[in-house]
Amino acid sequence: MSILMSDLSEVVTVIGVLAFITSCITEVLKQWKWYDRKVPTEMSAVLVSMVVTPATLIRMAAYYNVVIDWYACFACVIAAFIVALVSMSGWERVMDIFDRFMEKGRGR
């Protein structure tokens, strides 16, 4: 159980750091007037997270000497959407969705 909690805390930390980086890059991009007029903020956050999250996966895999499989790429795309959601809406919305999901799972 302690290993699971340790892994879970690492995942939450990585998502938080990636969401912070995504938010910072999105805010910098919003300073460009031409970009701000053409691309909505939400779309910008999703695009940035789709670049930042796989880049981080590749760097972490190279650091730990791990081979990237197809399911890691799929998980990376899912994680990119989670990172975008956290960077746009914050942890409150993500925890609300998680709580509603867990309540439906218990109701069966």
Q: What is the pLDDT of residues 86-107, one digit of tens each?
A: 888 776 777 787 788 777 766 5
Q: What is the pLDDT of residues 17-66, one digit of tens each?
A: 999 899 889 889 988 889 889 988 889 999 999 999 999 988 988 898 98
pLDDT for residue 79: 92
How many residues appear in the chain?
A: 108
Q: Which residue has the higher pLDDT, 70 or 101?
A: 70
Q: What global pTM score does this model have?
A: 0.75
Q: b/e per residue, 58-91, with b = 16+ CB within 10 A?
A: eeeeeeeeeeeeeeeeeebeebbebbbbbbbeee
pLDDT for residue 50: 95
Q: Which of 43, 48, 40 is nearest to 20 (CA)?
A: 48
